[in-house]
A and B are shown apart, each in its own frame.
Chain A
Amino acid sequence: MKVILEQEKCVASGQCVVAAMDVFDQREDDGIAFLLVDEVEGEDVEQVRQAAGVCPALAIHLR
C-alpha cells in the first residue's frame, strides 16, 4: 500500500517514528517527519496504520 505524508501539516511529535521506525524518520534540524519508503506491505501496513492513528496532525494516510 502507498503511504502518504502531508509534511506541511507535520508538528514533529515523532509519534510515527516510534510506531513505524522502518517507514518514518525525522529531519535533524526541526524534527519534521519524512518517509524512508512510500510503499509498505505485510507487518509494516499495521505499523503505518498505528502511526496514522497517533499522528496529532492527521498528516499520515494509507492508500
Chain B
Amino acid sequence: MNPAKSEAETHSQVFPLTRDQRCPFDPPPAGIARQGSGERVARIQLADGRSPWLITGYEEAKSLLSSPNTSSDSSHPGYPVAHIADRQEGAGLSFILMDDPEHARLRRMATGTFTIRRIEALRPKVQAIVDGLIDELVAGPQPADLVERFALPLPSLVICEILGVPYDEHELFQTHSRTIVRRGATPEDQAAAFNALGQYLAGLLERKIEDPGEDLLSDLGARVVAGELERGDAVQMGILLLFAGHETTANMIALGTVALLQHPDQLEKLRMSEDPALVGSAVEELLRYLSIIHDGLKRTVTADTVVGDVTIPAGEGVIVGLEFANRDPEVFPEASELDLERNPRNHVAFGFGVHQCLGQPLARMELQVVYPTLIRRLPELRLAVPLEQIRFKHDAVIYGVYELPIEW
C-alpha cells in the first residue's frame, strides 16, 4: 500500500471537499464521484471527527431542504459545523439560523421589499449605478481589478438604496463592509468594522423612526415603534441583508465574468442577442454552473427522515451540496457544460425550502443588468493575466475570485 496515496484519498473525503485547481469552475471531484456511484446520501468526515451526511443528488437535496423535519439552528448539538465561521457568522445572520415560526415572522418583515414588482421598479436605478461604475472604470488606468472597482461596489450601492442609507453616507458604509469581507483583514479589524456597522445601522434606524422614508429600514423602524420588532433584531436584519446580498452577488459578477471570458462563443452569443429571454436564461445557467455556495447548506434532522433510499436518524447533521445537485446529470443533461440557452429555472443555487434566498429577485435582476452591460460597454474585455494566475477562493465559504485583473 502506498501511504502517500492513502493519505491523499482520505483527505479528499474530508469536508469541505477540495476542488481540482485545474478545473476552477467544477465542484470537488470527490462529491461528483459520490453522486455518480450511488452515494448520493452518504456520511462524510468533518475535521472535528464527526461524520454527518452529505447530499450530492438533486432530488435528494430538494427533498431534504423541503422536509418539515429539519432545523437550521446552529446551536443544535447535531448541527454540522464544517469550520469555525459556521458558528461565528451565526452572530449576525438573524433568521437564517432560526426555525419557524420565529424565522417566518421575521422573514416576512423583509419579503415585501423583494417582490418581483418592487425589484423590477429598481432596475433603471441599478442600470444607472452599473453605467456609472463602468464610466469610472474606463476613465481609470489599465489593468484594473474588476472585483474592487465593480463587483463589490455594485451590490453595496444597491443595498444602500434598499436599506435607505443616505447618499453622502455611502462611503462610510462601504468602508466598513469592505473591511468585513476583505480576506486580509484581521479578525480584530473585522470585529471592529462589524461593530461600527451595527452602531451605524442602529443610529440610522433611530433617524428613520424620526423621519421615515420609502425604504426597508423605515419599514423596520415602524415595526419597532409598533412593538412588533426589537431594535436589536432590526439591526441584525440590516446586517444580514448587507452580507447576504453583498459577497454572493459580487462573487457571481466576477466569477461569471471569468466563466464568460473562458467561453468566448457563449459570450459572443450573449453580446449579440437582443432577446431578454436569452439574458434571463444566461443568468440562470451561470447561477447553476457556478453554484457559488460551495460549502453546503447545513441542517439537523429533528425526526428520522427518509431521503432517497436512506433513513437519516433523528438528531443527526446533514450538509446539502448545492454545487453537486446543480451538476446532477439526471436533471441537467451535459451538466458540466456551460450552455447559456439551457434556461435551467429549476436549479437550486438559491437553496430550496422555507429558507430559500429571499433576495433572489434582486440578485437575478442585478446580474441580468450586469453581464450584458459589461460585455457591450467593454467589447475588448479580457483577463490581464493568464487564468492560472487568478486566485480562486478555494478556502472561502462563498466561491469566487479574490481579484480579477482585466484590460479592455
Kindly state whether residue B111 has any CB partner on chain A within 8 Å.
yes
Q: Is the CB of B356 within 8 A of A14?
A: no
Output the residue of A11, A15, A54 with the most chain B CB within 10 A: A11
Secondary structure of the A side of the interface? loop
Kindly state whether residue A17 has any CB partner on chain B within 8 Å.
yes
> A53 CB to closest chain B CB, in angstroms?
6
- CB < 8 Å: which of A14, A19, A31, A57 contacts B345? A19
Kindly state whether residue A4 has any CB partner on chain B within 8 Å.
no
Query: B358 — which chain A residues lie within 8 A by C-beta?
Result: 11-13
With A11-B354, A12-B358: A54-B115 Cβ-Cβ less than 8 Å: no
Kindly state whether residue B351 has any CB partner on chain A within 8 Å.
yes
Closest to A31 in B: B111
Kindly state whether residue B108 has any CB partner on chain A within 8 Å.
yes
Q: Is the CB of A31 within 8 A of B115?
A: yes
Closest to A28 in B: B112
Q: Is the CB of B346 within 8 A of A31?
A: no
Query: B354 — which chain A residues lie within 8 A by C-beta?
Result: 11, 56-57
Kindly state whether residue A30 has any CB partner on chain B within 8 Å.
yes
* Docked complex: A11-38 residues within 8 A CB-CB of B: 11-15, 17-19, 26-32
> A56 CB to closest chain B CB, in angstroms?
4
Query: A17 — which chain B residues lie within 8 A by C-beta?
Result: 115-116
- CB < 8 Å: which of B111, B116, B353 contacts A32? B111
A26, B116: Cα distance in complex, Å? 8
- CB < 8 Å: which of A12, A14, A19, A54 contacts B108? A12
Kindly state whether residue B361 has any CB partner on chain A within 8 Å.
yes
Q: Scan B336-377; emit 1 where CB is below 8 A from any A CB, else 0.
A: 000000000110001111101110110000000000000000
Kindly state whether residue B107 has any CB partner on chain A within 8 Å.
yes
Q: Scan A33-61; emit 1 where CB is below 8 A from any B CB, else 0.
A: 00000000000000000100110111000
Kindly state whether residue B114 has any CB partner on chain A within 8 Å.
yes
> B100 CB to closest chain A CB, in angstroms?
10
Query: B104 — which chain A residues lie within 8 A by C-beta?
Result: 11
> A61 CB to closest chain B CB, in angstroms?
14
Query: A54 — which chain B residues lie within 8 A by C-beta?
Result: 345-346
Q: Is the CB of B112 within 8 A of A31?
A: yes
A56, B114: Cα distance in complex, Å? 16
Output the residue of B65, B107, B345, B351 with the most chain A CB within 10 A: B345
> A21 CB to closest chain B CB, in angstroms?
8
> A6 CB to closest chain B CB, in angstroms?
13
Query: B116 — which chain A residues lie within 8 A by C-beta?
Result: 14, 17-18, 26
Kindly state whether residue B117 has any CB partner on chain A within 8 Å.
yes
Q: Is the CB of B114 within 8 A of A31?
A: yes
Q: Is the CB of B345 within 8 A of A13?
A: no
A-B contacts besides A17-B115, A17-B116, A56-B350, 13 pairs, CB < 8 Å: A12-B108, A12-B111, A12-B358, A14-B361, A15-B360, A18-B361, A19-B345, A30-B112, A32-B111, A50-B345, A54-B346, A56-B353, A57-B354
The 8 closest A-B pairs by CB, nearest first: A12-B111, A31-B111, A56-B356, A26-B115, A14-B116, A31-B115, A30-B108, A17-B116
Can you give 12 A-B contacts (C-beta < 8 A)?
A11-B354, A11-B358, A13-B357, A14-B361, A17-B116, A18-B116, A18-B361, A29-B112, A53-B345, A54-B346, A57-B353, A58-B66
